Amino acid sequence: MVEYGEILGGPADLPYVAGEVDLAGRKILLVPFYSSEAEEWFAVADVGNRQLRRIRLVDVVAGLLVAPEAPKPDEDLLIPLADLVFNRMSFPNLVRPLNGLLDVVENCASILELYDQISPLYARGHPGAQQVVQTLVNQLMVVCRTLYDVLHGLSREACSTVKRPEDLSMPLMEPLPKRVSKLMLKDGKPWAADELTMKYRLPEPLAKFYCAQAPVFSFIRETRDRVVHRGRNAGEPGYVSSFDEGLAVSIEQPPWSDLEIWDEDSVVRGKFGSLRKVFAFLIAEVLGASTVFARAYLSCIALPQPISPDNHLFLRGPLNHHLMTLDEVTASPWERATRGGQDDGVPET
């Protein structure tokens, strides 16, 4: 292994890059590498003239890293789509959508952290807490909506790069429209997969992806329009209420009545659903969509071999634990107390 301060021959000399790998036009992303065997980090700095010098690195506080497995399982998040781009799709025009994906993931973790901080303030009657919560709902919808733009941007860029596995002279699909809504909805309703295949020559797995994601996309877009573009209301002014159990919204009126997530454990007083469950559900859905998207691409694209077959790309962050416990939140959605009695108490609004 290259010693500290030494110059590498080039990115291909990085210890996580497979020997004699055919890049096929891809870039090798310069990411700190943790060798679990040597128990040390390998990082480089660009010192000009296309030279890379190994530098000493004690640890990564936050950001991307490469390793065989997560060095810090409670902070290192494996994002299958990001790992796919790093290892097999790191073409120059696909790196920017990768950065967009990472921004969305970090923003989702931050939103969940902010929720945990503002909920107890609302419970204590902190002035303006309700307004902050409703602003956080706005941000949730904007960030979740952005994820679909990122995925669609990746699709559009891939059109000019990847080829069909059965005929490498043929592009994967026809040029796609710029707006993801054109692929998700037709006259306000989801496309049929075969219609997308015929119109844009979409491979079946990708056509099914767009169709399957259309209902959640439509909910997010419509709710975003309610709370962002058409004012502050999502049902009525002051639509977030506070109970002993946690923050809640009325499930008797849209948009919250449109969600098919409500069960006995997530509803109190007969008509108020856990807002925390809404956050966990939507974030889990959009992050899950990125994984389904990666699988769809893997199943229908002729991709070159992995650049780093024995390693994965991780995103380290102090707030990633929120994204690793979404299933637990969904199963136990109330943040402040166990589900209490079904009295007729008046919520704080």
The pLDDT of 292-307, averaged and rounded, is 89
Please tell me the predicted confidence (pLDDT) of residue 228. 67
Predicted local distance difference test score (pLDDT) of residue 341: 42
pLDDT value of position 29:
95
End-to-end CA distance of the chain: 62
pLDDT of residue 157: 83
Burial of 249-285, coded b for 16+ CB within 10 Å and e otherwise, reads: bbbeeebbeebebbeeebbbbeebbbbbbbbbbbbbb
- The whole-number pLDDT of residue 164 equals 60
Query: Residue 235: its pLDDT value, please?
Result: 46
3-state class (DSSP) for residue 255: coil
Share of the chain above pLDDT 70, in %: 89
Rg (CA), the chain: 23
Q: What is the pLDDT of residues 21-35, one digit of tens each?
A: 999 889 999 999 999
Q: What is the per-residue pLDDT for 101?
A: 96
Q: Return left, alpha or beta for 69; rule: phi > 0 is left, psi -120 to 50 is alpha, else beta.
A: beta
d(CA 165, CA 220): 34
pLDDT of residue 18: 95
Domain boundaries, the chain: 7-79, 81-307+318-331
Between residues 109 and 168, the one the model is more confident about: 109
Average pLDDT over the chain, rounded to an integer = 89
- What confidence category does residue 135 fall into, taking pLDDT thresholds of 50, 70 and 90? very high
pLDDT value, residue 9: 86
Mean pLDDT of 322-343: 81
Q: What is the pLDDT of residues 136-175, one digit of tens each?
A: 999 999 999 999 999 999 888 876 666 565 666 666 667 7
How far apart are the C-alpha atoms of 318 and 331, rounded to whole Å? 23
3-state SS class at 45: strand
Q: Using CA atoms, how far apart are residues 90 and 108, in angstroms rounded to an integer?
A: 24
pLDDT in tens, 111-133: 999 999 999 999 999 999 999 99
Alpha-carbon distance of 327 to 308, in angstroms, equals 30
Return d(Cα 293, Cα 23) in angstroms, integer: 23
**pLDDT for 301 beyond 80:** no
Nearest to 274 by CA among 294, 313, 314, 244: 244
User: What is the CB neighbour count within 10 angstroms for residue 343?
Assistant: 9
Say which DSSP state 80 is in: H
Look at 238 and 8; give whichever has higher pLDDT.
Answer: 8
What is the pLDDT at residue 72? Answer: 97
Which helix (H) or strand (E) segment holds residue 64: the answer is strand 63-67
pLDDT score at 172: 63
* pLDDT above 70 (res 324): yes
Distance CA 91, CA 26 (A): 4
By percentage, how much of the chain surpasses pLDDT 90?
Answer: 69
How many helices and strands (H and E) does the chain possess? 9, 15
**What pLDDT, in 10s, does the model give residues 40-74?**
999 999 887 778 999 999 999 999 999 999 999 99
Least confident among 241-255, 289-303, 317-331: 289-303
Name the band, by pLDDT with cuts 50, 70 and 90, for residue 226: confident
d(CA 170, CA 210): 22
Instruction: State mean pLDDT over 216-227.
Output: 90
